[in-house]
Amino acid sequence: MNPPSFLTDSDELLSYLQDFASVSVPDAQIVATVSEILADLKQNGDKALLERTMLYDEVSLSPEDISVAASDLEKAESSLSSEERSSIEEAIENVRFFHEKSIPSDWAARNDHGGEVGEKYFPIRRVGIYVPGGSVPLVSTVIMTVTLAKVAGVPEIAVVTPPGPGGEVALPLLGALNMLGVTEVYRVGGAQAIGALAHGTDSIPAVDKIFGPGNAYVNEAKRQAFGLVGIDLLPGPSEVMVVADETASPIYVAAALLAQAEHGSGKEKVYLLFTKEELHGEVMAQLEAQVQALSHRESIENVLSKGFLSIFLPDL
């Protein structure tokens, strides 16, 4: 692993950054494919949803299989180890604490003309949350999105997540959803799931706004669905910038970088800005050590070799 780094000032840094951090333009084929999927979902509803799930996920579902049963959610939570449950509970509390501090307050006042002005805040009536599944089911996405919706007081939360080879959904993911009180979960993913949330089907009522990350097809589906429904943003390819001063732990810095590189599309961008020159070598050593134990080592190393940049900044 030998990613590029700038350990001294260089006239080439700016031009290198312009190329390295260039905006990713959607592939024309992806745009066309997603447009076709969304049109099919709008026209054919559940039929299109099931056919596309078979085509892309190679999973055969019946209309009754689309929704995850309440008993499956309860069993999934029961299957969690005490360590898993404790970790999920701690993460939920931390996210809840942050968002409770961020809730805006209603206000009202009279202006100089005697008119009453102000702002009132209301929770969105119904939201759809996309949770990546498959080879990397993201329990973290469940925690960060559903907890926010719960704090905001959203009355209806619908979660979609891609099924595994046998139609299953990862137990830790379902367990976390049950811990958060989510009862509406669907085992569908990809652009077809976004189409279902946007247009609605017999099995999945339409939502008012869609949240959550996904691959290039999911991202493009959200872009095309904007206006029909609200969307949170167009995340991806993933990127993170870790700014580390002399107090930073190389172990934690490396873990933060690997967590983003683990998304594994190959287009992620990972930046490290550091103020202590010796930290660079220490972090690189930790990256080498920690990646050995990760199940997606090959894809992570691919990201770090092409999309990782370190820059030494003596003064921030």
**Chain segment 134-189, per-residue pLDDT in tens:** 666 789 999 999 999 999 999 999 999 999 988 999 999 999 999 999 999 999 99
Q: Does pLDDT of 101 surpass 70?
A: yes
Cβ atoms of 45 and 201 closer than 8 Å:
yes
Identify the DSSP state of 247: T
Q: Does pLDDT of 8 surpass 80?
A: no
Site of tokens 């969304």? 38
Q: What is the pLDDT at residue 147?
A: 98
pLDDT band at 198 (very low <50, low <70, confident <90, very high): very high
Q: What is the pLDDT at residue 311?
A: 92
Closest CA to 219 of 199, 234, 197: 234
Greatest alpha-carbon span in the chain: 68
By mean pLDDT, which of 22-36, 79-93, 95-109 is the weakest?
22-36
Show the DSSP H helices in 58-170 as ranges: 70-79, 82-102, 139-152
The reported pTM is 0.82
Identify the DSSP state of 296: T
Cα–Cα distance, 241 to 309 (Å, whole number) = 9
Q: Regarding predicted confidence, which is higher, 268 or 104?
A: 104
Q: Radius of gyration of the chain from Cα atoms?
A: 22
Mean pLDDT along residues 126-134 = 92
Q: Does pLDDT of 38 surpass 80?
A: yes
Q: What is the pLDDT at residue 240?
A: 87
Q: What is the pLDDT at residue 36?
A: 98
Edge-to-edge strand list for the sheet holding 239-244: 5-6, 308-312, 269-274, 239-244
Q: What is the pLDDT at residue 20?
A: 82
Domains of the chain: 5-23+237-312 (3.40.50.1980), 25-100+123-235 (3.40.50.1980)
Give kind and range of the element (H or E) at residue 311: strand 308-312
Q: Does pLDDT of 314 surpass 80?
A: yes
Cβ atoms of 155 and 123 closer than 8 Å:
yes
pLDDT band at 262 (very low <50, low <70, confident <90, very high): confident
| Mean confidence (pLDDT) of the chain | 92
Residue type at 160 in one-letter notation: V
Q: Does pLDDT of 127 surpass 80?
A: yes
- Contacts (Cβ under 8 Å, ≥6 apart) of 285: 250
Q: How is residue 144 written in tokens? A: 């960060």
pLDDT band at 299 (very low <50, low <70, confident <90, very high): confident
Residue type at 304 in one-letter notation: L
Q: Does pLDDT of 265 surpass 80?
A: no
Q: What is the pLDDT at residue 296?
A: 80
Q: What is the pLDDT at residue 266?
A: 67
Mean pLDDT along residues 194-201 = 98
The three-class DSSP label of residue 203 is: coil
Q: What angle do CA 254, 256, 258 make, to 5 degrees?
A: 70
Cα–Cα distance, 212 to 189 (Å, whole number) = 12
Dihedral of the alpha carbons of 29, 30, 33, 38, in degrees to the nearest 10: -150
Q: What is the pLDDT at residue 24?
A: 64
Percent of the chain with pLDDT over 90: 75
Q: What is the pLDDT at residue 150?
A: 98
CA atoms within 13 A on the CB side of 102: 11
